[in-house]
């Protein structure tokens, strides 16, 4: 038993215990209730409500103009243009314009929605009791009724100016995301349909940088060539050689199965694109007994004695052949460009 005695003032009095119960003190956490609702000026003055409506519509309109500015930036500013903007310093004009216009488009939608909610939508506070998670039919009916009431109080159906400008702003903002798809890469246009090869251009040995004569190509050998006039020091060398790289092989004319291949060759010397038609890897492995060439990336195999058709692997079509001949000086030359685009298929190939 504790030796400390309870103070008398803490003990219940006889009156309190007359009926066997102790009196409970008043609840210190009683609900104080909601303060009286104070109407806003827009609630009592329709002119003020109209001013707020025009302000919201103005912000939604600014969002639409900013979205148009975002799209126009792609046309106006080159990718490599650098400008000085205080206090950011030297920045990309395109990136700065895109960030500024897209930020403004999103900001004005948010600002307009906040101003609409604070000045025109109902601001009456509603207290609701907690209820079970499972919704009853009565609750569902109440939710739908509350939604209908909220829609009516917001004036969404009545204030057509706000509604129409909001729809316009929300409809145009996704256009920014569509325009961003432009950054996935340059449009192919017709750049992939042609190479530097043209009638009269000599075949230059890529190892010696010298023009090729027919006697320089032995039966069973594999030689790589590039167009006359292209050098490794050219600014666009990598871009052009990726399309124009040529593979020269000499096959006995009697071993060539494809009639068109034989007509486009010179004394058994055939010229095919070095670029694999799967994903564009350079082909460099040749089997002289079978006349097969193998792409080292994904093992696509082509038969150079039969129109370079695909005999194995994921490549989708044969290697394009370049028609060749011999000029007056005895050097191998092209008789035109490839008849079809080199490399893998692309979405504008048609």
pLDDT tens string 165-195: 999 999 988 888 887 776 776 666 777 888 9
Out of 120, 136, 164, pick the residue that ends a domain: 120
CA distance 21 to 47: 63
| Closest residue by Cα to residue 49 from 57, 41, 37 | 41
Q: Does residue 321 share a domain with residue 207?
A: yes
Total domain count, the chain? 2
User: Is position 307 within any domain?
Assistant: yes
- Which residues make beta-bridge pairs with 248? 223, 271
Kindly state the average pLDDT of the residues 120-141. Answer: 79
CA distance 139 to 129: 12
Average pLDDT of the chain, as a whole number: 87
Kindly state the average pLDDT of the residues 198-209. Answer: 94
User: Is position 306 within any domain?
Assistant: yes
In this structure, are residues 104 and 63 in contact, taking their beta carbons and an 8 Å threshold?
A: yes
CATH assignment of the domain containing 290: 2.102.10.10
Looking at residue 2, its pLDDT comes to: 46
pLDDT tens string 281-313: 999 899 989 999 999 999 999 999 999 999 999
Looking at residue 18, its pLDDT comes to: 47
User: Is position 257 within any domain?
Assistant: yes
- Beta strand 246-250 pairing with 222-227: antiparallel
- The secondary structure of residue 176, as a DSSP letter, is H
Distance from the Cα of residue 217 to its chain's centroid: 47
Q: Does residue 206 share a domain with residue 326?
A: yes
CA distance 84 to 213: 56
Looking at residue 3, its pLDDT comes to: 47
pLDDT tens string 7-29: 455 555 555 544 444 455 567 77
pLDDT tens string 212-250: 999 999 998 899 999 999 988 888 899 899 999 999 999
Q: Does residue 91 share a domain with residue 205?
A: no
Out of 120, 141, 158, pick the residue that ends a domain: 120
Give me the domain span that covers residue 278.
201-334
Q: Does residue 205 share a domain with residue 330?
A: yes
Out of 120, 154, 181, pick the residue that ends a domain: 120
Looking at residue 160, its pLDDT comes to: 87
Confidence bin at 349 (pLDDT 50/70/90): low
User: Is position 316 within any domain?
Assistant: yes
pLDDT tens string 28-76: 777 777 788 888 999 899 999 999 999 999 999 999 999 999 999 989 9
User: Is position 216 within any domain?
Assistant: yes
CA distance 281 to 294: 11
User: Is position 271 within any domain?
Assistant: yes
In this structure, are residues 97 and 171 in contact, taking their beta carbons and an 8 Å threshold?
A: no
Q: Does residue 104 share a domain with residue 218?
A: no
Taking 3-state DSSP, the helix, strand and coil percentages for the chain, each rounded to the nearest 5, stand at: 35, 15, 50
Record the tokens describing residue 111, joined without a space: 């600002």
User: Is position 133 within any domain?
Assistant: no
Is the pLDDT at 257 greater than 90, yes or no?
yes
| Closest residue by Cα to residue 288 from 303, 273, 300, 298 | 303
User: Is position 24 within any domain?
Assistant: no
């Amino acid at each position: 038993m504790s030796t400390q005695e309870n103070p008398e003032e803490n003990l219940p009095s006889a009156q309190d215990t007359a009926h066997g119960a102790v009196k409970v003190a008043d609840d210190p956490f009683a609900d104080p209730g909601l303060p009286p609702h104070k109407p806003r000026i827009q609630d009592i003055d329709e002119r003020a409500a109209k001013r707020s409506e025009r302000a919201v519509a103005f912000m939604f309109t600014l969002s639409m103009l900013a979205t148009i500015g975002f799209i126009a930036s792609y046309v106006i500013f080159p990718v490599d243009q650098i400008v000085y903007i205080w206090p950011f310093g030297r920045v990309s004009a395109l990136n700065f314009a895109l960030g500024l216009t897209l930020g403004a488009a999103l900001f004005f939608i948010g600002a307009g929605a906040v101003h609409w909610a604070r000045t025109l939508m109902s601001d009456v506070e509603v207290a609701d009791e907690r209820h079970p998670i499972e919704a009853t039919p009565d609750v569902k009916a109440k939710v739908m009724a509350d939604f209908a009431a909220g829609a009516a109080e917001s004036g969404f159906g009545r204030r057509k100016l706000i509604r129409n400008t909001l729809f316009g702003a929300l409809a145009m903002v996704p256009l920014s995301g569509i325009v961003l798809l432009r950054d996935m890469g340059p449009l192919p246009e017709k750049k992939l349909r042609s190479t530097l090869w043209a009638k009269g251009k000599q075949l230059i040995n890529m190892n010696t940088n010298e023009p090729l004569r027919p006697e320089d190509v032995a039966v069973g050998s594999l030689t790589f060539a590039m167009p006359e006039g292209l050098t490794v020091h050219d600014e666009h060398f990598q871009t052009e050689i990726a399309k124009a790289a040529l593979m020269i092989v000499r096959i006995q004319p009697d071993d060539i199965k494809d009639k068109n291949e034989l007509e486009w060759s010179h004394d058994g010397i055939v010229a095919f694109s070095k670029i694999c038609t799967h994903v564009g890897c350079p082909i460099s492995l040749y089997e002289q007994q079978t006349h097969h060439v193998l792409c080292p990336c994904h093992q696509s195999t082509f038969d150079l004695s039969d129109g370079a058709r695909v005999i194995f692997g994921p490549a989708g079509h044969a290697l394009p052949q370049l028609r060749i001949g011999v000029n007056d000086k005895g050097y191998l030359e092209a008789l035109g460009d490839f008849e079809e685009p080199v490399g893998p298929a692309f979405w504008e190939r048609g």
